[in-house]
Structure 1
Amino acid sequence: MRPSEIAQLLAGADDAGLFSAADALTRENFGTEIYLRGVIEFSNHCVNNCRYCGLRRANRDVHRYRLSVDEIVSCTALARELSLGTVVVQSGDDYTYTREDIGRVVTGAKEQADVAVTLSLGDRPEADFLYWREIGADRYLLKIETFDEALYAKSRPGLALADRLDRVEALRKAGYEVGSGIITDLPGMTPDILASDLARLSALDLDMIAVGPFVPSPGTPYGDAPAGSVLTAFRAMAVLRLLNPLANIPSTSALNALRDGAREQGLTVGANVIMPSLTPETVGGDYAIYPGKNALRADAASRLAAVRAAIRRVGRTPSTAVGGSKRRRHG
């Protein structure tokens, strides 16, 4: 699919046909199963100053926290108790945690819960990637946000797109299942940029692809920018499904931050994954990359029950499977 064709679909040329085709392709490859990944957001400290993110270093209004290694491992054990096959260990770019600290989390998760472990820790040295993979980490999620060099540089001051892409390739070479993603309607993004982003993201041939709408966050330079369109995000998700039939595609919490019920609706337009938070409720609300990120203030079991009920409301089946990459099995 050429960028010009993608642009037409993003503009609403055939929403009914687009969404129907994406849904049919998702059912063909995944049935009605929705994979659940329990996210443990263990630190909201970040050395970066991304203009769109509430956790940016310069935001003094954030109540910062860090979980200990033992606390993180306890959360991974909870994942197995709640019948989740995967945990996502996530933080801002926080180098207080050493390579060995994260290694203890990986081995602890494997010993206590026997779950697939996805890491989402931002930019780390290639040696760290290799070490974690060798001791059992299964997946790594590293968002791109946009492939437009000028927009990337503006949105992520001091950082370069080429470096990010090099890290994605390093993760692939290390043997991870690799995930990445973009933000739709990021301030400064044009329809042509988004169409190109979707094509370039698909060309990376990733195991997981995420796309979520921009949600303005107080305390950031983009805090007064207009929120992204849920419909545009749905169109982007559907296009990604058509371009990546076997990829795992999550329906993100950013959708619900903009419109209640949008996350489960995303499961009908190409998504096959939901990532509920397992972060302790005492700190979960502080992981505010955008308002509403962890809006449901309840214990993890209650949050997960609500997610499973929402999945069933749209005719899907919450899965307990690890949900590994189908792309690899067919490659």
Structure 2
Amino acid sequence: MKTVIDKLCDNQSLNREEFEYLLDNIDDKSLEYLREKADEVRIREYGRSVYTRGIIEFTNYCKQNCVYCGIRHDNKKADRYRLSAEEILDCCDAGYKLGYRTFVLQGGEDPYYTDEKIIEVIRAIKKALPDCALTLSLGEKSFNSLKQYYEAGADRYLLRHETAALVLYKKYHPNMSLESRKQCLWNLKKIGYQVGAGFLVGLPKQTTKDYVEDLMFLKKLQPEMIGIGPFIAHDNTPLEGEVNGSVRQVVTLLAIVRLMLPKVLLPATTALGSVDPIGREQGIRFGANVVMPNLSPTNVRAKYALYNGKICVSDEAAQCRKHIEGKVSDIGYSLDMSRGDHKNWRRL
């Protein structure tokens, strides 16, 4: 086991069989060795800084029907909302005053927000806060739409592929195409974005081979950001009552990705903190170097319920920042409120 981990540390590519062996046979001692090596690489590349992004969840309408998601189109019990352009700008302004210099606009695939509306918001944010980075997470869009957003000033785009295993993707994403998802990620790279991909851990029927598909795809894609989080069941979905993904499995994969792509920006997700009180801290200890506190208005946070038990839905923005800052400091790291760009990225 140590030999396989060392091979990964030496920047040598593992084949499918080696990845499977690592995931299927890692014991507590090997996991700690993996953690130590991932931490060493993260400190070498980024020090003990943990980059901070303010996330604004601006709509929970979605045209898609992903089986695991609480804001899926067919969830008639979801309490839907949309933020206006003014409300989004107010969130950014409040975040800026708290020190944030990077914002994430995240929403379901909501046709109400046309390209014109999105571009208007991007330009308004960039005009008001020109020293800030702007990330979009809006689902699949056409090449032309993505290019227009980039030209308007967007810097990053998050589009988790969710799973690179074709059978699993079809099972959980009705009327969607894995090929289309992947092509959208390649389009984002071609346009010039800092690109974020990522996948769920612990979906029912997900196997080691499925995770290896994710790792092989990410190795080929070479994204600047990778979000890895646990599946958490939502009551108003077909997966109600299913067992949640494990923190141990998530942090194992975080550490592997850190060694595989040393310079990657790797979030310790809110979902990790939702499934375990110290989940985000564990993620940071295993190589993650990004956190995304919530800047959404408190009256809508609980409505953006992708899964059960989401944390920090009632905290004010200042409380969220103070809370996560304390947790990060307690384990020997420090919040970095700068833009936090990928080391190799330059706007085209």
Return the TM-score normalized by structure 2: 0.92
Shift of 1:3: 2.4
SS of 1:171's equivalent in the other structure is helix
More displaced 10-residue stretch of structure 1: 245-254 or 73-82 = 73-82
Do structure 1's residue 24 and structure 2's residue 35 form an aligned pair?
no
SS of 1:327's equivalent in the other structure is coil
Q: Tell me what 1:194 maps to.
A: 211
Shift of 1:294: 4.0
Task: Give per-residue Cα distances to partners, 1:82-124, cap 9 Å, x unaligned.
Answer: 1112100000000101111111211121122231000000011
Q: Tell me what 1:260 maps to.
A: 277
Q: What is the CA–CA distance in structure 1 between the aligned matches of 2:273 and 2:337, rounded to whole Å?
A: 23
Map 1:47-62; keep pairs closer than 5 Å: 47-62=63-78
Q: What is the CA–CA distance in structure 1 between the aligned matches of 2:254 and 2:23, rounded to whole Å?
A: 10
Q: What is the CA–CA distance in structure 2 between the aligned matches of 1:260 and 1:135, rounded to whole Å?
A: 39
Q: Tell me what 1:109 maps to.
A: 125
Shift of 1:296: 4.1
Map 1:265-304; keep pairs closer than 5 Å: 265-304=282-321
Q: 1:37 aligns with which of 42, 53, 58?
A: 53
Q: 1:93 aligns with which of 109, 114, 132?
A: 109
Asked if the contact 1:9/1:15 (under 8 Å) is kept, the reply is: no
Asked if the contact 2:301/2:313 (under 8 Å) is kept, the reply is: no
Do structure 1's residue 313 and structure 2's residue 326 form an aligned pair?
no
Counterpart amino acid of 1:42?
F
Using a 3 Å threshold, how does the CA distance of structure 1 residues 253 and 83 change in structure 2: closer, same or farther? same
Q: Tell me what 1:9 maps to.
A: 22
More displaced 10-residue stretch of structure 1: 69-78 or 140-149 = 69-78
Task: Give per-residue Cα distances to partners, 1:236-270, cap 9 Å, x unaligned.
Answer: 00000010100100001111111101112210101
Asked if the contact 2:50/2:335 (under 8 Å) is kept, the reply is: yes
Q: Tell me what 2:144 maps to.
A: 127
Q: What is the CA–CA distance in structure 2 between the aligned matches of 1:308 and 1:99, rounded to whole Å?
A: 35
Q: Tell me what 1:222 maps to.
A: 239
Structure 2: runs of 5 or more not aligned: 1-13
Q: 2:158 aligns with which of 141, 148, 152?
A: 141
Q: What is the CA–CA distance in structure 2 between the aligned matches of 1:293 and 1:168, rounded to whole Å?
A: 27
Counterpart amino acid of 1:104?
E
Asked if the contact 1:42/1:279 (under 8 Å) is kept, the reply is: yes
Q: Tell me what 1:65 maps to.
A: 81
Shift of 1:223: 1.6
Task: Give per-residue Cα distances to partners, 1:125-151, cap 9 Å, x unaligned.
Answer: 221101110111100001101011111
Map 1:171-186; keep pairs closer than 5 Å: 171-186=188-203
Q: What is the CA–CA distance in structure 2 between the aligned matches of 1:8 and 1:229, rounded to whole Å?
A: 19
Shift of 1:7: 2.3
Using a 3 Å threshold, how does the CA distance of structure 1 residues 296 and 314 change in structure 2: closer, same or farther? farther
Asked if the contact 1:36/1:273 (under 8 Å) is kept, the reply is: yes
Asked if the contact 2:298/2:313 (under 8 Å) is kept, the reply is: no
Q: What is the CA–CA distance in structure 2 between the aligned matches of 1:292 and 1:9, rounded to whole Å?
A: 31
Shift of 1:328: 3.2
Shift of 1:9: 2.7
Q: What is the CA–CA distance in structure 1 between the aligned matches of 2:15 and 2:32, rounded to whole Å?
A: 20
Asked if the contact 1:296/1:303 (under 8 Å) is kept, the reply is: no
Q: What is the CA–CA distance in structure 1 between the aligned matches of 2:171 and 2:344, rounded to whole Å?
A: 33
Structure 1 residue ranges, 4+ long, deviating more than 6 angstroms after superposition: none
Counterpart amino acid of 1:6?
F
Q: What is the CA–CA distance in structure 1 between the aligned matches of 2:312 and 2:152, rounded to whole Å?
A: 34
Using a 3 Å threshold, how does the CA distance of structure 1 residues 275 and 62 change in structure 2: closer, same or farther? same
Asked if the contact 1:284/1:294 (under 8 Å) is kept, the reply is: no
Task: Give per-residue Cα distances to partners, 1:174-193, cap 9 Å, x unaligned.
Answer: 11111010001112210121
Asked if the contact 1:26/1:270 (under 8 Å) is kept, the reply is: yes
SS of 1:88's equivalent in the other structure is strand
Structure 1: runs of 5 or more not aligned: none
Task: Give per-residue Cα distances to partners, 1:15-55, cap 9 Å, x unaligned.
Answer: 01111100100000000100001000000000011001001
CA RMSD of aligned residues (A): 1.2
Return the TM-score normalized by structure 1: 0.97
Using a 3 Å threshold, how does the CA distance of structure 1 residues 241 and 288 change in structure 2: closer, same or farther? same
How many residues are aligned here?
A: 329
